[in-house]
Amino acid sequence: MIIIILSPFIITACFIGVIVLILTDKLNRAIAALAGAVVTYFVLIFIENFTFAIIVNLLFGTQDDDYVNLHSFILIIAMMIIVLISNEAGLFQFIAVKLIILSHGKPIRLMIIFCIITVVISAVLNNILTVIILIPLTITISRILNIDPTPYILTQAVLVNIGGTIFSISSIPNILITTYAKISFTEFFLNVGLISLIVFGFTLIFFILLYKKELVIPPGGAEILKEFDVWNFVPNKTLLIQSMISFIVLITLLIIIPSSIITPDIIAITIATFLMIISRLNPKEIITKIDLELIFYLIGIFIIAGAMEVTGVTDAIAVIMSNIGGEDILTEILLILWVSAFLSSSIDNIPITRVLIPVIDNMPVSNDPNTKNLTFYSLAIGANWGDNLTPLGDNILVVNIAEQHKRPISFKKFFKLGFITTVYQLTIVSLIFILIFQFAFGMILILTVFLSISIIYLLYKSNPKTIGLKIDKLINKFRALIIR
Amino acid sequence: MVLKNIQRIKSALPEVLHVAMFYNTGTIFQTTFEQNINIPKLGENLAELLNHVKKVYEICNFKMETYRKFIFETDDVSTIIIKLGEDSNLALFFKKEEDKDVKLTAIKRYLNRIEELIDTDETEILFQELATREKDLKIIEENFQQKQQKINDLQTQSMNTTLSESEVGDIKKAIKNLEDECEHLKQEIDQKKLENQILIQKIESKKKPFNSD
């Protein structure tokens, strides 16, 4: 009896230990995950009496699950190579500055362009690389335009996560989810990508209303901005064109070829290999730049999370979540959305996603093939967007980069904007889910919000000197609360 | 225009082979180098060069708040990197000629203009923030004065002997509410004044350490 409880207990403790080590920054995340994997190995071999084959199965998947983990690894590595070469070609900076120049120094237009660039770039790059490219560039642009970059940096940091849910290849959690649940590229985009774009639109409106009084650009800067030579980001034009074409071909092939014929990872690795050959870059340089830390981290997490599955821990979590959510599908989906968001706010979203995938698969709600994928969509959104609820994780990097470039931003400002925006975004997604499952109730909720806004607007217009002034004061107080 | 300045520097000094304006991030704003040169790598290495020298200073325990210029001479080409703004620099590549010292005075007059154009100092932004805050403070102070005036008016009104007891009671209640609001506003004004004071001190401490010479 003790032995039956012992393994799940050790493995759960191991998982929590790895999370704590990463959270407290006591140990490098790859080393922490590998250490956890080593402990897991001993538990599985000496307590559970498995053979070494179990480790191979946990790492790469089995024939039954169609080697799901191996497909994830190949897709992640292939995307890394394509992104590395495109970055060498200066593709992302080139596109960004080209678009920024189109703003003609108009503050709101600049804010919109910065937000669009962030979402577009983070739709193909991981969040860390996106902020490493965009934040210094934003600060440089702000130096030319003679403006405070804080509103732009803060909004970019928040929107990076929205870009992460546009495509199935936009983030590691998406790759893990879509490979496991066999969700195609198009299917993911039509269900999660489009929701993300809708929420992006609402977020953009929110940001403009929030910052419109702060966004002032002194005259003259726009003219200087035009003098910024975008070709200075490009080492050679041929490489730029090659990487642009590669991205277009990749997206096109992912859309038109069903994964039952060629899986997305094979499409991506084919393009990555081809690009490496035609780019004439030194392959050794590219290979040494591949993020091995992430690969080792994933190896460790795959083994620990897989062991949690084998020893029945994920089944137990699934039972608990099902009991909380009851029989109602909508409640279960909303529960997955908010729980995954709050968990990934302080814990890295990769282990959270990896553990929650089998949990969701084991929940009764996933038995219905019509609603099964909705639970995975909910997980993808929650795990990606929850990051902004706290200024931890990737967001620390944003603050550090801003400080390195002598434009420090406070954690307090970041936390206030990130928390409020994320709650606002998750509420919109919840409303969309409510509309899908309970259309009438969802419509009542939307109409109530719309009606309240209309009444406030009419009151504002009917009596601008008294009620209007009070509403103005309230709005300004709310704005000041978030941005000051 | 900035580009014109770059060209002027080049034409004012025939011995200048090339000019590159770059930020500490390695981003090149403008350069006279042609596209056949790997410009991103050039910017990256120029920025790294400055970083390495900074590290050398740190190792040697030399005090270095900021640098003014960096000179590197070889048999054929001399390189001078001059600090422009808070985060921007100008690299000049000279043809090396015998018995000729590089005269920086000829390019000096362009430097301040370029600095203004491509690199806003942090203090500029702090100044802008201070202006916004002072505007906010002024609005609150005006609001405070209006309320004070209203209290005075109501107090005068309450002296009126023709008013009933309940009317006087209402006025006193309104005065009390206004006094509470004024108290709150007073605290807000004090807080904002303190914050502005801190900001002014911050601006003072960030004054430019040097001018290009």
Say whether both B112 and B127 belong to one domain. no
* pLDDT value at B147 more than 60: yes
**What does the pLDDT read at residue B47?**
94
Say whether both B63 and B163 belong to one domain. no
Cβ neighbour number for residue B175 with a 10 Å cutoff: 18
- Tens of pLDDT, residue by residue over A181-193, are 989 999 999 999 9
Calculate what percentage of chain B has a pLDDT beyond 90: 11
Work out the average pLDDT over A279-306. 89
Report the residue from B40, B86, B117 with minimal CB separation from A232.
B40
Alpha carbon distance A177, A157 (integer Å): 24
In a domain, B213, yes or no: no
Say whether both A10 and A104 belong to one domain. yes
**What does the pLDDT read at residue A479?**
80
**What does the pLDDT read at residue B120?**
65
Say whether both B103 and B61 belong to one domain. yes
Instruction: Give the count of domains, chain A.
Output: 2
Alpha carbon distance A82, A71 (integer Å): 17
Say whether both B95 and B15 belong to one domain. yes
Say whether both B138 and B90 belong to one domain. no
Say whether both B69 and B143 belong to one domain. no
Report the residue from B86, B88, B124 with minimal CB separation from A146.
B124
* pLDDT value at A175 more than 70: yes
Using the Cβ of B199 and the Cβ atoms of chain A, whether some distance falls under 8 Å is answered with: no
- Tens of pLDDT, residue by residue over A99-120, are 888 888 788 888 999 999 999 9
Work out the average pLDDT over A2-12. 80
Say whether both A475 and A331 belong to one domain. no
| Amino acid type, B51 | N
Say whether both A400 and A337 belong to one domain. yes
Say whether both B92 and B182 belong to one domain. no
Strand, coil or helix: B43: helix
Rg (CA), chain B: 30
Residues 37-96 of B with CB under 8 A from A: 38-41, 43, 85-88
Q: Which of B119, B138, B154 is the last residue of a domain?
A: B119
Interchain contact, B27 vs A232, CB within 8 Å: yes
Q: What is the ipTM of this complex?
A: 0.72
A148 to chain B: nearest residue by CA?
B125
**More confidently predicted of B69 and B43:** B43
**What does the pLDDT read at residue A69?**
86
| Amino acid type, A255 | I
**What does the pLDDT read at residue B210?**
39
- Tens of pLDDT, residue by residue over A60-76, are 988 887 888 899 899 99
Range picked from A401-410, A469-478, B16-25, B116-125 for highest mean pLDDT: B16-25
Using the Cβ of B120 and the Cβ atoms of chain A, whether some distance falls under 8 Å is answered with: yes
Say whether both A355 and A474 belong to one domain. no
Contact A334, A94 (CB under 8 A): no
* pLDDT value at B209 more than 50: no
Using the Cβ of B138 and the Cβ atoms of chain A, whether some distance falls under 8 Å is answered with: no
Range of the domain at B173: 123-205
Using the Cβ of A143 and the Cβ atoms of chain B, whether some distance falls under 8 Å is answered with: yes
Q: Which residues pair with B91 in a beta bridge?
A: B20, B81
Please give the mean pLDDT across all residues of chain B: 79
Say whether both B83 and B148 belong to one domain. no
In a domain, B212, yes or no: no
**What does the pLDDT read at residue B213?**
37
* pLDDT value at B212 more than 70: no
Say whether both A475 and A344 belong to one domain. no
The shortest C-alpha distance from B170 to chain A (Å) reads 20
Alpha carbon distance A451, A60 (integer Å): 53
In a domain, B75, yes or no: yes
In a domain, B10, yes or no: yes
Alpha carbon distance A453, A457 (integer Å): 6
Using the Cβ of A410 and the Cβ atoms of chain B, whether some distance falls under 8 Å is answered with: no
pTM for this model (two decimals): 0.77
Say whether both B146 and B113 belong to one domain. no
Q: Is B196 exposed, middle or buried (0-12, 13-18, 19+ CB in 10 A)?
A: middle
Alpha carbon distance A442, A428 (integer Å): 11
Work out the average pLDDT over A248-255. 92
Say whether both A324 and A218 belong to one domain. yes
Alpha carbon distance A244, A89 (integer Å): 9
Contact A146, A153 (CB under 8 A): no
Say whether both A358 and A469 belong to one domain. no
- Tens of pLDDT, residue by residue over B56-78, are 999 999 887 778 888 888 888 88
Say whether both B114 and B53 belong to one domain. yes
Say whether both B114 and B127 belong to one domain. no
Range of the domain at A207: 2-437
| Amino acid type, B136 | D
**pLDDT confidence band for A324 (50 / 70 / 90):** confident
Q: Tell me, letter by letter, the H, E, C secondary structure of chain A.
A: CHHHHHHHHHHHHHHHHHHHHHHCCCCCHHHHHHHHHHHHHHHHHHHCCCCCHHHHHHHHCCCCCCCHHHHHHHHHHHHHHHHHHHHHCCHHHHHHHHHHHCCCCCHHHHHHHHHHHHHHHHCCCCHHHHHHHHHHHHHHHHHHHCCCCHHHHHHHHHHHHHHCCCCCCCCHHHHHHHHHHCCCHHHHHHHHHHHHHHHHHHHHHHHHHHHCCCCCCCCCHHHHHHCCCHHHHCCCHHHHHHHHHHHHHHHHHHHHCCCCCCCHHHHHHHHHHHHHHHHCCCHHHHHHHCCHHHHHHHHHHHHHHHHHHHCCHHHHHHHHHHHHHCCCHHHHHHHHHHHHHHHHHHCCHHHHHHHHHHHHHHCHHHHCHHHHHHHHHHHHHHHHHHHHHCCCCHHHHHHHHHHHCCCCCCHHHHHHHHHHHHHHHHHHHHHHHHHHHCHHHHHHHHHHHHHHHHHHHHHHHHCCCCHHHHHHHHHHHHHHHHHC
Interchain contact, B1 vs A232, CB within 8 Å: no
* pLDDT value at B109 more than 70: no
Say whether both A318 and A223 belong to one domain. yes
Instruction: Give the count of domains, chain B.
Output: 2
Work out the average pLDDT over B201-209. 66
Please give the mean pLDDT across all residues of chain A: 87
Say whether both B72 and B162 belong to one domain. no
**What does the pLDDT read at residue A23?**
78
B140 to chain A: nearest residue by CA?
A473
* pLDDT value at A215 more than 60: yes
* pLDDT value at B103 more than 70: no
Interchain contact, A234 vs B129, CB within 8 Å: no
Calculate what percentage of chain B has a pLDDT beyond 70: 80
Work out the average pLDDT over A309-326. 82
Size of interface A-B (CB pairs under 8 A): 82
* pLDDT value at B192 more than 50: yes
**pLDDT confidence band for B42 (50 / 70 / 90):** very high
Say whether both A307 and A450 belong to one domain. no
**What does the pLDDT read at residue B211?**
39
Q: Where residue B52 sits, what CATH number does that domain have?
A: 3.30.450.30
The shortest C-alpha distance from A82 to chain B (Å) reads 19
**What does the pLDDT read at residue A44?**
93
| Tokens 């920086």, residue located | B104
**What does the pLDDT read at residue A352?**
86
Sign of CA dihedral A410, A413, A414, A416: positive
Alpha helices in B60-164, H assignment, sequence order: 105-118, 122-158
Alpha carbon distance A268, A255 (integer Å): 12
**What does the pLDDT read at residue A106?**
83
The lowest-confidence range among A235-244, A250-259, A307-316, B155-164 is B155-164
Work out the average pLDDT over A304-321. 86
**What does the pLDDT read at residue A53?**
92
- Going from the C-alpha of B150 to that of each of B137, B145, B154, B170, the distances in angstroms are 20, 9, 6, 14
